[in-house]
Every structure is written in C-alpha cells, then in structure tokens.
Amino acid sequence: MSSYSSASKLRLRRGEMRIYVTLLLALLTSHAVMGVELDKCLQAVRNGTWGQVGGFGNDGHPVANISTAKAITYELCIKACGKGPEPFQWTTFSQQFSAWLLPWLALVSQLPFGSNDKLDNLLSMFLTVGSPTLATYSLALTVLNGRWIARRFSSYTYPNTNLAVQILSSLQQSPLKITTDSSLLASLVVLPENDAWWKELVVGLDYTHTWSISAVSSIAWVVIAYVFTVIDSFTRDITQSINVNGEGVGSLWIWLVAIVIGWLQISPKCDARRVTQAVERANNMAYVATPTDGPVLASALSRQRAISPVQGDEDPLRHDETCTVPIYNYARFLPWVQAVEEVSEAFRAASGRAHLHLPVNSDMDWAQEDRYVTGLHHRNRSGNRTQVENYCVPLGDTSLKRRSPWGPDVLSRVVIASAIALGLQWGTTGAAMIIVWFTPTTGLGCRSGAYILYGAASTVCLDATLAVQLSFTSRGDNPSRNLQALCMVKVCTAPLDRLSSLRKDPRNIERRLDYPLVPVSIRQLFQSMLL
C-alpha cells in the first residue's frame, strides 16, 4: 500500500511539473508575441505616423516638429508602442552575456577555497558574490591582522618568536585551540627540545596559492574587457542609446578584481586537510615538561597539544568559525585574537625573564651564551613543570586575571576594514548606478534600482555581522550560541546545509532554543521549521 501511494505521489508531482513548465513556456511566448520593438516604434513617432503632438525638447517645452523631439508624453508612448515589454532577443542576450558577464563569472573560480566540504566552497562563492562588502572586510581584516601580530611580537627576543609570528599569521583561516593545561603551551615556548616543533610547522605551512597562468589569464580577460568598455563609451554618443553595453555591469563587478588579486598576494593557508596534516606532524615532535624527570614527548602523556586546529563541527551554529574558507575570517577574528594573546603572553613573560638573565631553573646560575652560537643556552631554558609554568607568568603578576574578550587594537582594525569594504562596495556599485542613471531613459529605474538594492543588501550583511559580534562580545556571550544572533546574521551568512544536522537530532535544536533571551514565538517557529 505504501509503495502504491509513493508511486501515485511521484506521478502527481511529475504531472504538476509538466503543468508548471507548460505555463512558463506559455508566459514567455505570450511576452514574445505581445512584445514591442521600441526602435521601430520610436522611429514611427519621429516620422510623424502618430501626429506632431506630444513631442518635447530638452527644455521641457513642446516642439512643432516631432522629428526633433527629445521626449514624448506617456499617452503618446502608450498609443504608439503599447503597454507590453520589448521582446526577448537571444542573440542580443548571448552577445552581452559572453562579452560582459561571462569573464567575471570565470574570475570567481580564482577565489580561494579549501574546505573539505565542496558544498561549503560553493556557498562561500555565493556569499562572496552576494556580499562583496563582507568579502572585502574579511580580506582587509586578514591583512591588518598580519601587520598587528608582527608589531605585537616585535619587542620579544625569546627564541622562536619570529617562527611563532609566521605560524599564527598563517593559521588565520583555521579555528585554533590553545591548551595551557599541564604546561603544554609553556613547554612549547620555553623548552629547547621544542625548537624543532616550530621549524617543522613553518615548513609544513610553507605552501602558496599564488599567481598561476589561469589566474593571470582570467584577470587579464576581465581587465581587457573593461578597458574595451571604457573605450567604447568614448567612441559613441552614450546619450543616444537605450543600452549601456556593459559599462554598468563592468563597473558593478570591478570589485572582484581587487579581491582576487588581494587573496593571491596574501596566499591564505586555507587547505583544511593540508593544514591539519602539517599541525599533526609537528605535534608528534612536541615535548612537555614533567614534574620531576626531564621533558618527554607529549604523545606519551595524553592526546592534548598546546596548539591544534579545532576538529569536527560539534556546534552546527558555529559553522562559519570552523570553515576554513577565507571569507569566514570575520567569524574567526576575535577567537583568533584571543589565541594570539595566549601565545603572546607566554613569549612576553619568557622574554622579560630572559632579559634579566633569569634561568628557568631558579636553582641554577645563568649560563653565558657562546659567542659563536646565537640564542640562549639550553641550560637556561630547562626545568620541571612548575618552573616552566612560572617562567611564562610575567614578573610580579601572581594574580589570575580574567582576560577581556576584546584584544588589543580590535576596534581600530574593525573600523579600518569596514571603511575599506564600504569604499570598495559603493565605489563600484555607485559608479554602475550613475552610468545607468544617466542612460536614456535617465533617472531611477529597474537597473539602477537593482544596483542600489544589491549594494544595500551587501552592506546590511556586514552591518548585521558586526552588530551581533561586537555586542555579544562586549557582554561576554558567544553569539553562535544564541538564537537571536542566528536570526540576525545567519540569513546573510549561514550555510543552509547545517539545518539538516539539526533535523537529525531534535535534542540539538531543543538545547539551542533553551535560552531565556530567545522569545517563545521564535522558539516555536524554529521548532516547527526544523523538527
């Protein structure tokens, strides 16, 4: 009985699909039949076929000879041309699409991806095209973070400081987990046995996704097409054409060139599998201090490591943070800053004590360095677990301080990155809108209005993201664990495939809806949608 019912439903759905396709074809055919050829219509008006009344000049006054008219009345337009749209012409569409839009779509393939999930890569592409403001914000934030961490560690002189800067800067695309328990982080910073760990990880992350022949060809294609567009605008009278012939589209998409070139220059380490393998190889070489004996391999004691990427997707609502595609750097910004601060604190304390010639083992005297060997003597960096942990605590700082969720210079980087993103978005969208605005018929219309809506929607995505991230961070909450943040941000940024994981286990959504800040109506709405 159930199989018969399923077959009946399948046939019914196929029948409905045929009806929809038939109606769509009929609608398109009717538009083609009812369409108006505007060029022929306007030529008939200029020839006086519809009389000499209804024509106006540029000054808004009626003209005696309608052949010299620059505008006509709405009544004459309806009388001569009718109310239907202009018929669709495939040849015109294909020429415009291949000449002006196809090069930009080809350039999208040069964006950096790297997630293990192909659907995540596809969604990141849609997110980039849908919100260039957010894509530019993540790119600018990545550049500013690299400059900030270099300045942050510039005053430290402890061994491996420069390697730590390279590693942490390269791991901006990976969600980091910093473990300070059991002197794991302190041992990684202090012990000389871990020098090989830092070198191994730098080598493992030393791969680039940079300029290639395909990338150069794609960029050259769109640049040449845009140059031809600009030249074409100077070789004809644009005020006499009702089409912009690519000027608006080219200006609207020119932001993509800047973003692609920016990521190619940065060469983000976003290959999730490759980054994980590099960190695992290095962690197999990590040593940890023991309470009494000398340092041993960390793998001999536990599976915990000082620095490791977050594995798995335990919280579906934190998907943006765990996805390694670079456009999601905005979601990893504050957690990454906190991870950098953990490591920076350890290097700062160790550098300060080494500057005062204080060895790790306080029972020993400071060993002078060999004039022919750079760096600290190994004896000055050896000790038991307690001594190593104390060495990474700043002098005179015996109290446990709760670190603020805000890192140093966070607000300034957010403001600068936002200004760059808004400038690029509205510099290109505004130019496209102005071109279409002054193309006959002039003024706000379908195309200029669509460009404005595109820029506004892109800006709203960034504004909503910043509002939720900053407000919840200032309160010490995790926005990814509150459904109000989900309602504000996920509409613009969250991949829809995460909803399926909530459907699999109803307890997931029940747990995430069990917050006093979530209104009852919203709880019921999401429960009805997801369960």
Q: What are phi and psi of 296, to 5 degrees?
A: -130, 165
Contact 186, 346 (CB under 8 A): yes
For the ranges 23-27, 109-113, 146-150, 482-486, the one whose mean pLDDT is highest: 146-150
pLDDT of 503 over the 60 cut: no
Indicate the residue type of 250: G
Q: What CA–CA distance (Å, rounded) separates 153 from 530?
A: 47
- What is the reported pTM? 0.76
Least confident range from 36-40, 410-414, 415-419: namely 36-40
Over residues 296-343, the pLDDT tens digits come to 998 888 888 999 888 665 566 677 888 888 899 888 898 899 999 999
Residue 224: predicted pLDDT: 86
Over residues 202-247, the pLDDT tens digits come to 999 888 767 788 888 888 888 888 888 788 777 766 555 555 567 7
> pLDDT grade, residue 14 (50/70/90)?
low
Residue 515: predicted pLDDT: 37
> Average pLDDT for residues 363-385, to the nearest whole number?
80
> Average pLDDT for residues 389-409, to the nearest whole number?
73
Residue 269: predicted pLDDT: 87
> Average pLDDT for residues 22-39, to the nearest whole number?
55
pLDDT of 23 over the 60 cut: no
Tell me the domain boundaries of the chain: 2-81, 118-124+138-205+275-391, 498-531
**Positive/negative CA dihedral, 494, 497, 503, 505:** negative
Angle between helical axes of 118-130 and 132-152 (0-180°, round to 10): 100
Residue 273: predicted pLDDT: 87
Q: What CA–CA distance (Å, rounded) separates 279 from 308?
A: 7
Q: What CA–CA distance (Å, rounded) separates 73 from 77?
A: 6
pLDDT of 373 over the 50 cut: yes
Least confident range from 151-160, 372-381, 516-525: namely 516-525
**What is the chain's mean pLDDT, rounded?**
77
Least confident range from 16-30, 101-115, 229-243, 328-342: namely 16-30
Helix or strand run (H / E) with residue 221: helix 213-235
Q: With CA atoms as reference, report the closest residue to 344 among 165, 114, 188, 103.
A: 165
According to DSSP H, which parts of 356-401 are helical?
Answer: 385-391
Q: What CA–CA distance (Å, rounded) separates 531 from 529?
A: 6
Is beta strand 287-288 parallel, antiparallel or unpaired with respect to 296-297?
A: antiparallel
Q: What CA–CA distance (Å, rounded) separates 85 from 33?
A: 10
